Structure 1
Amino acid sequence: MLRVKTFLSTLTSILTPNADSAPQAPDPQAMVLIQKSMLRLLGVRGAEINPQLEHRIRYASSIEALWFLRADLAQALCLQRDESSALAAVSDLTPLFEGNVSKAQLQSFQRGQRR
């Protein structure tokens, strides 16, 4: 039920953004940094196990697309290590998204982390 509430909150924030929560113009350097960080986390072995994810990260169309790929990355990492370290590793990517996704998305994620 909590995941449904978080999903609905995120979906609502995407569909009804306000001027204060909109991210700034996309930064191509930030996009490359986030992609490289996500690919580094996935690693060579992870890319071998899940080539579709590696492809989706590498050729993502936006930083927001990368934001939503974090869940897939966490799932892939859980196959390689324990769940808590996989989730912590993906959570460590969050600062890279600040200023590049809406504040509502970041706040929704942070509320979910506190529970």
Structure 2
Amino acid sequence: MINKIKLLVAFLLLAAGIAGFYLLADKATVLRILAVLAGLGASVAVLWTTPIGQQSLVFIGEAVAEARKVVWPTRKETTQTTMVVFVLVVIMAAFLAVVDIGFAFMVQWLMGRGA
């Protein structure tokens, strides 16, 4: 039960930080952002003391470790892939335009309105 209360307190601290951002609308932007960061920090601090929070932090750590293992494409590969995508988009747009025009003529012909 204590862990559920801690989770509720963490959520309320985060909500208080966000509410502080809007309640301090007449103050400097830096102060408003600090209110959100303070609420977020306090929320994480309380969340850290719960088993769910600890599991979440372990998961985030593992996700960061996996993200570091990603092999990112080179600039050349990215450019080539982008160009292939653009060409395929143009081809599909032309194909769908031809199909649309064909269906429009067929509907007009079936309804006896010319064509």
State the structure with more CA Rg: 2
Q: Which has the higher contact order (CA 8 A, sep 6+)?
A: 1
Normalising by the residue count of structure 2, what TM-score does the alignment of the two structures yield? 0.30
Bigger proportion of residues as helix: 2
Normalising by the residue count of structure 1, what TM-score does the alignment of the two structures yield? 0.30
